[in-house]
Amino acid sequence: MGLVTASSSAGVGGRATNEAAALQRQFVQILDKQKVRSVYQPIIDLASGDVAAFEALARGPVGSALESPALLFGTGRRLGLLNNLEWACRGAALEGALEANMGAQVSLFINVEPSVVGGAVPARVEALFRRAERKLRIVLELTERDLTRRPADLLRLVSWARERYWGVALDDVGAEPESLALLPFVEPDVVKLDMKLIQEDLTPDQEALVDAVQRYAGRTGASVLAEGIETEQHRDKALRLGANLGQGWLFGKPGSLDGAPATRAAVKLLSPPPQVKARSAFEILATKHQIERVTRAELLARTSKLEAKALAQNPSPVVLASFGSSGRFIPRAAGYADLAERCVLVGVLGTGTQPGPESRVRYTVLDERDPLAREWIVTVVGPTAAEVLAARSLGRDPHDVGDEVELIHTTDRDIVTSVAQLLLGRVLPMAGRISA
């Protein structure tokens, strides 16, 4: 084996540095000159074989070092320009579809992350979105790998899409536990099954996941889209798993929209769920359910029973609670730390300071005037679970709940989801950098 001298080592290092610098300059030029482009992969109606949609996928300039999406996004991440790149990708997706006169007979899937809501939209992209509202049938595809980091933004993004009569697709169900856990909150028009569910043998956990997706689709009428279909065998398996839409190389690789077949098979969108404006869990629950009067012992017993059910649920649910104050939560903190180790999201709200010990529980401090600060609420929501109990008329002592309380306890999924969304909308973003 030859020896690497100091000078040759320096030469190799110098070349690597120069190549990295050249790549960075090329990346900045691509953004400045709007050279990010989109290719479009067809999504097929499995029953008819018609094209129902195209998914826009980002690429760098043809023949350039950054044509590869992996290198393009990797460079953007290293330079801290990922957000700029993502907006450029959305702009390219819309511009390409508008220039090709795609129209509203088929749907256009565009990848987004919850963090786009409330941020500054580049003027060029904002203008494209305004044009697209009139001319395209858009489905926003939630792609962030950790959807639970910004739950309030997630709900705002879904609301933003539905205000424009756009669809919502939940991506990578089967690859990321967050996707399945948040299915009841997002209530997507399209559930995208991860390709490994199609291309590999299913484990028992994956079979339970597919069953949960099938139940959701059967209850709501949502579409199920199978990704990664490369063979007729994959297509047959997708149908067995309940998919009515398919995507993969069997139907076409990503390419231009030139010569795209003219069909009228756009993806079906669900009726938007009713918007709940209430600020109190009791206000939501009392519209349909009677109030009981129970003792403190009964409240604590029912609460513990519900928490135990959440711990045993498979697939694991989202658990959201509000105990009025951190003082009332502290005796339950250890149990919620256990829940947080198993569930993808456990959020607790209350007045006062952040309680200890530290855990994965997402504790959000409430204002003393918030109606939730005067209620005791526990919600458990998942693909196969929906239950809430809420109590009020709590004692004045922040460490106590009083001898008797008013209680509402229900498994009505629509009502449970409304209460859970009320709480989820208060949960603060997780500290630290948001993953891309």
Length of the chain in residues, anyone?
A: 436
* CA angle (131 as vertex; 129, 134 as ends), nearest 5: 110
Q: What is the pLDDT of residue 377?
A: 96
Rg over alpha carbons for the chain, rounded to the nearest Å, is 25
Q: Helix (H, G, I), strand (E, B), or coil: what is residue 338?
A: helix
* Nearest-angstrom CA–CA distance, 377 and 189: 29
* Nearest-angstrom CA–CA distance, 348 and 378: 9
**CATH hierarchy code of domain 30-246:** 3.20.20.450
Tens-digit pLDDT string for the chain (436 aa): 444 444 444 554 566 677 778 888 999 999 999 999 999 999 999 999 999 999 999 999 999 989 999 999 999 989 999 889 999 999 999 999 999 999 999 999 999 877 666 667 889 999 999 999 889 999 999 876 667 888 888 888 888 888 888 999 999 898 877 788 888 889 999 999 999 999 999 998 899 889 999 999 999 999 999 999 999 999 999 999 999 999 999 999 999 998 888 888 889 999 887 777 788 999 999 888 989 999 999 999 999 999 999 999 888 899 999 998 888 998 999 999 999 999 989 999 999 877 766 678 999 999 988 999 889 999 999 888 899 999 987 666 666 778 899 999 999 999 999 999 999 988 877 754 333 3
Domain spans in the chain, listed from the N-terminal domain onward: 30-246, 281-424
Q: What is the pLDDT of residue 2?
A: 45
- The structure's pTM equals 0.86
Placement of tokens 């697939």 in the chain: 315
Dihedral angle, C-alpha 16, 20, 21, 23, nearest 10 °: 140
Beta bridge partners of 320: 347, 379
Q: Check the CA dihedral 270-274-280-285 and report its sign.
A: negative
Query: What architecture (CATH level 2) is domain 281-424?
Result: 2-Layer Sandwich (3.30)
**Closest CA relative to residue 245, chosen from 204, 188, 201, 202:** 188
Q: Check the CA dihedral 206-207-210-212 and report its sign.
A: negative
Q: What is the pLDDT of residue 117?
A: 65
* Nearest-angstrom CA–CA distance, 414 and 90: 33
